[in-house]
Structure 1
Amino acid sequence: MKDNFYIIQNGTLKRKENTVYFTNENIRKIIPIEKIHSVYCLGEISINSKLLTYLSRKNIILHFFNYYGYYTGSFYPRDYLVSGDIIVKQVKHYLDPEERIFIAKEIVSSTIYNILRILEHYRKHNKDIKSEILKIRECDQKINSAKSIEELMQIEGESWRYYYQTFSKILNFFEFQSRVRRPPDNEINCLISFLNSLLYTAVLTELYHTQLNPSVSYLHEPFVRRFSLALDISEMFKPLIVGRCLFNLINKRIIKEENFRKDLNSCLLNDSGKRIVLKEFDGRLSLTVDHPSLKRRVSYKRLFRLEGYKLVKHCIGDTKYKGFRMWW
Structure 2
Amino acid sequence: MSETYYIFRNGRLRRKHNTLYLESPPNNGDSQKYPLPVENVRDIYLFGELDLNTKLLRFLGQRQITAHCFNYYGYYVGSFFPRKRNVSGDLLIRQVQAFLSSSRRLHLARQFVKGACYHLLHNLRYYQNRRKSLAEIISTIEALTDQIEMTPDIPSLMGLEGRARDAYYQAFTTIMNLPEPFEKRVRRPPNNPINALISFGNTMLYTAVLTELYVTQLDPTISYLHEPSTRRFSLALDLAEVFKPLIVDRLIFRLWNKRMITDKHFEPIGKAQGVYLNEEGRKIWVREFEKQLSETVQHRKLKRSVSYRRLLRLEAYKLVRHLLDIEPYESFKAWW
Q: How high is the TM-score relative to the length of structure 1?
A: 0.98
CA contact (8 A) 1:190 1:269 kept: yes
After superposition, the C-alpha distances for 1:13-58 in whole angstroms (9 at most, x for unaligned) are 1112211111122532111111111100012221111111111111
Alpha-carbon separation, structure 1, partners of 2:57 and 2:11: 16
Most deviating of 282-291 and 171-180: 171-180
Offset of residue 298 of structure 1: 0.3
Alpha-carbon separation, structure 2, partners of 1:80 and 1:294: 27
SS in 1 for 2:305: strand
Correspondence for 1:128 among 112, 124, 133? 133
Tell me what 2:212 maps to: 206
Alpha-carbon separation, structure 1, partners of 2:163 and 2:94: 32
Correspondence for 1:241 among 242, 247, 267? 247
Tell me what 1:106 maps to: 111
Tell me what 1:4 maps to: 4
After superposition, the C-alpha distances for 1:212-260 in whole angstroms (9 at most, x for unaligned) are 0000000000010210000000000000111111001000111122222
Tell me what 1:223 maps to: 229
Correspondence for 2:34 among 25, 29, 34? 29
CA contact (8 A) 1:37 1:60 kept: yes
CA contact (8 A) 1:289 1:298 kept: yes
Alpha-carbon separation, structure 2, partners of 1:51 and 1:167: 44
CA contact (8 A) 2:3 2:43 kept: yes
Tell me what 1:43 maps to: 48
Tell me what 2:267 maps to: 261
Q: Aligned Cα RMSD in Å? A: 1.1
Correspondence for 2:298 among 269, 290, 293? 290
CA contact (8 A) 1:173 1:250 kept: no
CA contact (8 A) 1:123 1:130 kept: yes
Offset of residue 185 of structure 1: 1.2
Q: Which residue identity lines up with residue 300 of structure 2 in the other structure?
A: P
Q: Which residue identity lines up with residue 18 of structure 1 in the other structure?
A: N
Q: Which residue identity lines up with residue 10 of structure 1 in the other structure?
A: N
Alpha-carbon separation, structure 1, partners of 2:225 and 2:278: 34
Offset of residue 173 of structure 1: 4.6
SS in 2 for 1:5: strand
Deviating beyond 4 angstroms after TM superposition, the runs of 4 or more aligned structure 1 residues are none
Tell me what 1:312 maps to: 320
Tell me what 2:332 maps to: 324
Alpha-carbon separation, structure 1, partners of 2:50 and 2:162: 36
Q: How high is the TM-score relative to the length of structure 2?
A: 0.95
Q: Which residue identity lines up with residue 137 of structure 1 in the other structure?
A: E
Q: Which residue identity lines up with residue 12 of structure 2 in the other structure?
A: T
Alpha-carbon separation, structure 2, partners of 1:92 and 1:35: 37
CA contact (8 A) 2:296 2:306 kept: yes
Offset of residue 12 of structure 1: 1.2
CA contact (8 A) 1:172 1:250 kept: no
Tell me what 2:72 maps to: 67
User: What 5-or-longer segments of structure 2 have no aligned partner?
Assistant: none
Tell me what 1:187 maps to: 193
SS in 2 for 1:214: coil
Offset of residue 174 of structure 1: 6.0
Alignment of 1:145 with 2:150, yes or no, is yes
Q: Which residue identity lines up with residue 162 of structure 2 in the other structure?
A: G
Q: Which residue identity lines up with residue 248 of structure 1 in the other structure?
A: R
Alignment of 1:280 with 2:285, yes or no, is no
Offset of residue 172 of structure 1: 2.6
Alpha-carbon separation, structure 2, partners of 1:194 and 1:216: 24
Correspondence for 2:102 among 72, 79, 97? 97
Correspondence for 1:232 among 235, 238, 244? 238
Question: Among the aligned pairs, what percent are the same residue?
Answer: 47
Offset of residue 320 of structure 1: 0.4
Alpha-carbon separation, structure 1, partners of 2:151 and 2:9: 47
Most deviating of 11-20 and 169-178: 169-178
Alpha-carbon separation, structure 1, partners of 2:33 and 2:323: 47
After superposition, the C-alpha distances for 1:57-105 in whole angstroms (9 at most, x for unaligned) are 1111100111111111100111111111111111111111111101111
Alpha-carbon separation, structure 2, partners of 1:2 and 1:51: 19
CA contact (8 A) 2:2 2:41 kept: yes
